[in-house]
Chain A
């Protein structure tokens, strides 16, 4: 976090004329930031797959999957706990979101903004939304340029939002990210209809060790929810 927007030392670095405060006073003035408030909450099964059981504000998450194999369900499912706790989220570039399925995943739809077809302006729309939401899902329409990704991630870090990029093998995210879910395979369970789907994901990322490695999650289950296996 270079040039951190959060560091109070940094904010006051230029005001040298300010009289020195007693250390006691500084200690009482300094806001107590709980680790939790720097996290956007996740529900199970995702909480147990991520360091701290949530998504760190300012971080970027990639959900990477072959189209049609469950990437969208995984990405949208990450919104459920946060939306339930009053956080806003936005979904950019997902053409026809199945809002019934989202509601079954536990997403509170009253706090989700959809920008289904941003056309050429997806990055701009995403930047517009960053200031207003805590979680931002983007599905870039094509391979995201290095510069655009860099800019967006910087802005995310500065604003303390969480960016979730939904990508596919033909157009991977061009930069390393804090946390990644790679869907490696998926398998449906059928009876007289489609019942549920096992999705195998490879969890990775940099920095604090996530629960790296392969995990199997059922999404959707018979009730349309995401559950651990």
Chain B
């Protein structure tokens, strides 16, 4: 299973939650598969999906899922201790770990080598960390949402990409409709 197949698989679960989606192909895939006002697509700024998602989670009550990649977490490793020490039980960090930098041509990441992101997250103090196989992602994600406990999920999948169009939406439109949806769901 590759990342786009995971996203296709979990799209019906994501739809009911607030989602912050990582830069590049993950956002483009989610946008193509199931565009929703509750999705915040990152058009730039590699590494900050988890930080933005944690910020949204701490500021309001609805569940927030940050879809991140192994390469992006490696870029912003400092995020894991911040997440661990600022517990938001409405926050789920879903790291789709394909062991490669997918958006730039599948160069290998260290997470595909000796580094275990689940072990790093645990060492940083994250209390609920679940590593699963790609096929299990939907079930694990559903259980995490229902648990109402801050959860880090590391979903191990194969590397590989499909052809997807870039997101042509204006960033201010993406941001504004996301904020409007946050307000509506919290009303």
Partners in one complex: no
Residues of B within 8 A of A (CB): none
